[in-house]
């Protein structure tokens, strides 16, 4: 029989590790598989071909961990961007790479569980595994899906990143939260590129985060003006959410620690490779590469020209 453990103990340790919220879901078929397939078929995934390749694996977490019984979901809060419309770098680019931060924290949580139970499996997933993360965060009771497609947590707002442990523990699943967005449409109305569809799905071909981070090669001229001064990522639809104003959960300290002053568009265009490697080592920006960043900087300078 799989091991078991009181859920409140796990949640308490997650809180001590700096997570804003933790919840539990019973492993099963992904409810959103058909909607995801339709999203892919429309071409909304843009150039993220790996989403097509990994789609079959996303249908059940057992494709990742065969003996999975429960999913532990955690959310880490990061600071709200005080001036998101100004573009530049999104907040998760200004600190140590959140993938590394969350994996380190989840490793500690995994060790805690394994030291106190007979658990055999606690697989860490942060963004790169073929797991429909938002769905499992919703099913674990961390919040609801906002109109911008992302998780909205009553305690942490919308500025969060997610992590998961897939485990053979049998844990009591949480009750999903009801949507509390009401009639608010601020996220939709604030998007400069019209990337947010009415069904709370994102057209990645228009999204500034995809264009500045994932999109390979040149960016179509008709997309460039909407980019404004964006260099890496976009915080507009998350920063504008009124739930950030009432959130009381603490920001994870590691996600609030700046890695230092960031270069502007002009500085990036003149930046040599060794300077880029040194300045952005250990951050999320490193993965996009200097060529992409300089492409974005050239667009930002063009948009700023009189």
Could you confirm whether 127 is annotated as catalytic?
yes
Cβ atoms of 124 and 161 within 8 Å: the answer is no
Residue 160: beta bridge partners? 77
Q: Give the pLDDT confidence score for residue 1 in this predicted structure.
A: 38
The whole-number average pLDDT for the span 191-208 is 94
Cβ atoms of 200 and 164 within 8 Å: the answer is no
Q: Give the pLDDT confidence score for residue 199 in this predicted structure.
A: 87
Question: 10, exposed or middle or buried, with CB in 10 Å at 0-12, 13-18, 19+?
Answer: buried
Residue 123: beta bridge partners? 166
**Residues 209-231: tens digit of each pLDDT:** 999 999 999 999 999 999 999 99
Residue 3 pLDDT > 50, yes or no? no
What is the C-alpha separation between 131 and 5, in angstroms, rounded?
24
Q: How confident is the model at residue 86 (pLDDT cuts 50, 70, 90)?
A: confident
Q: H helices then E strands: how many in the chain?
A: 14, 8
Q: Give the pLDDT confidence score for residue 2 in this predicted structure.
A: 45
Handedness of CA 61, 62, 66, 71 (dihedral sign): positive
Residue 15 pLDDT > 90, yes or no? yes
Q: Quick one: what percent of the chain has pLDDT higher than 70?
A: 98
* Selected catalytic residue, list 9, 34, 44, 127: 127
Residue 41 pLDDT > 80, yes or no? yes
Domain boundaries, the chain: 1-256
């Amino acid at each position: 029989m799989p091991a078991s453990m009181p859920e409140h103990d796990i949640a308490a340790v997650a809180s001590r590790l700096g997570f804003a919220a933790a919840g539990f879901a019973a492993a099963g078929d992904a409810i959103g598989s058909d909607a995801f397939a339709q999203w892919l078929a429309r071409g909304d995934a843009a150039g993220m071909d790996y989403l097509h390749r990994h789609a079959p694996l996303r249908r059940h977490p057992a494709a990742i961990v065969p003996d999975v019984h429960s999913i532990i979901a955690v959310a880490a809060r990061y600071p709200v961007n005080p001036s998101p419309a100004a573009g530049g770098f999104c907040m998760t680019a200004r600190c140590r790479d959140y993938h590394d931060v969350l994996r380190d924290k989840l490793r500690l949580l995994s060790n805690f569980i394994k030291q106190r139970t007979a658990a055999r499996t606690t697989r860490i997933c942060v963004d790169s595994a073929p797991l429909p993360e938002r769905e499992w965060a919703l099913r674990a009771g961390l919040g609801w899906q906002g109109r911008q497609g992302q998780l909205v947590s009553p305690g942490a707002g919308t500025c969060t990143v997610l992590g998961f442990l897939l485990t053979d523990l049998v844990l009591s699943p949480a009750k999903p939260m009801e949507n509390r967005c009401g009639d608010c449409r601020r996220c939709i109305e604030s998007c400069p590129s019209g990337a947010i569809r009415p069904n709370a799905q994102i057209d990645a071909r228009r999204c500034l985060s995809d264009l500045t981070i994932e999109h390979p090669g040149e960016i179509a001229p008709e997309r460039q003006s909407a980019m404004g001064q964006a260099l890496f990522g976009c915080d507009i639809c998350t920063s504008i959410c009124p739930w950030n104003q009432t959130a009381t959960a603490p920001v994870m300290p590691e996600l609030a620690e700046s890695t230092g002053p960031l270069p502007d568009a002009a500085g990036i265009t003149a930046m040599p490779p060794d300077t880029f490697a040194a300045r952005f080592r250990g951050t999320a920006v490193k993965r996009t590469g200097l060529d992409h960043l300089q492409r974005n900087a050239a667009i930002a300078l063009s948009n700023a020209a009189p």
